Amino acid sequence: MKRIEISELIFKIFAYLFLTVFALFCLYPFVYAVSASISGMDALRTGKVILWPVDVQFDAFMYVLQQKTFWTCYANTLFVTFYGTIWALVVSIAGAYALSKKRLMFRRGFNFLLSFTMWFAAGLIPTWLNYKATQGIFQGMGIMDDKWLIVIAMGTNAFNVILLRNAFEGVPSEIEEASIVDGASEFQILTKVYVPMSKSAIATVGLFFGISRWNGYFWARKMIGNSAEWPLQVYIRDTLEQFNTTETQAFENFATDSVIYSMIICAIIPILIIYPYIQKYFAKGVNLGGVKE
C-alpha cells in the first residue's frame, strides 16, 4: 500500500508541475503582447522586452484608440460575431433536433452525410466558388453588404451539430411524450423542453461559434472587398502588412510593433470578459454532447 500511495503522490506532483509549466507557456504570449504594447520604442527594437515592459508608455494604445477605421472594423467584428452566432445556433439547433429523432425518414443517411463532411472537405476552390455564387445571389437580392455573406453562408459546422444532436438524444423520451399528451407542438417541445434541458451544450456550441466568428480572417479577407466592411482581424493583418512594407520608422515615440500588439490586446478583451461566464458550462456541455450512452 505504501508503494501505491508513494507512486500516486509522485504522479500527482509530476502532473501538477507539468500543467503549471504548460499553463505558463500558454500565458507567456499574452503577457509579452501586453508588455510589448506599452514598452518604449528603443527597448522593443533592441530586444530588451522579454517578459515585463520596459520604458512604459501608452502612446501606442492612444494612437490605436484614436483611429476611426479601427472602431469601424471593431463594429464589423461585433456585427459578424453577434448575428453570426445567433444564426449558427438557430440552424444548428434545428438541424440537431431533427437528426436526433428516430422517426425522421432517412435519418441514418442524413447523419452519415453530416459526418462525411468532417472526413472529406470539398477543398478550397469548390468552397470559394460556392461562396462566390452565394455572393452573387445576395447581390441579386439587393444585399450588397458582404458581412451578411459571412453571417449566413458560413452559418453552421458539422461537429457542433453532432454535439447538439447527442445532447438532444440524451433528453428522456418520457418528457417529450408527456408534452405531446399535453398538446405541445414540435416547436414548443424544442423551445420548452429540449433547449432548456441542453443549456450547457448550447452554451458550449455558442462559444465555439462566437470565437470562430470573432477570429475569422481568411474568408473575410477573400470575400469582403470593401475595406469599410472588414472585420477587425483583417484590418490588423492589413495594418501589419503596411508596416512591414514601410522602410522607415513611422512613429517617433513608439514602435510599429507596439501598435500591432495594442490592436491584438484590444481585439481579445471581449473574449476575456465573456469566457469566464461561459467556462462553467464548457466541460459539462462537451461531455453531454460528445459522449453518447
Question: In this structure, which long-range contacts are made by residues 140-145, counting pairs with CB atoms below 8 Å and at least 24 apart in sequence?
Answer: 145/229
Query: DSSP characters for 4-22?
Result: HHHHHHHHHHHHHHHHHHH
In the chain, the percentage of residues whose pLDDT exceeds 70 is 91
User: For residue 27, is pLDDT > 70?
Assistant: yes
Amino acid at 107: R
The burial class, CB within 10 Å (0-12 / 13-18 / 19+), for 72 is middle
For residue 287, pLDDT beyond 60: no
- CB contact at 8 A, 254 and 59: yes
Q: Is the pLDDT of residue 72 over 90?
A: yes
d(C-alpha 219, C-alpha 27), whole Å: 28
Q: What is the pLDDT of residue 219?
A: 84
Q: What is the pLDDT of residues 159-199, one digit of tens each?
A: 889 889 988 888 888 888 888 888 888 888 888 888 888 88
Instruction: Please state whether the predicted TM-score (pTM) of the whole model is above 0.85.
Output: no
Stretch among 36-40, 226-230, 247-251, 278-282 having the lowest mean pLDDT: 247-251
Which of 72-81, 89-98, 265-274 has the weakest average pLDDT? 265-274
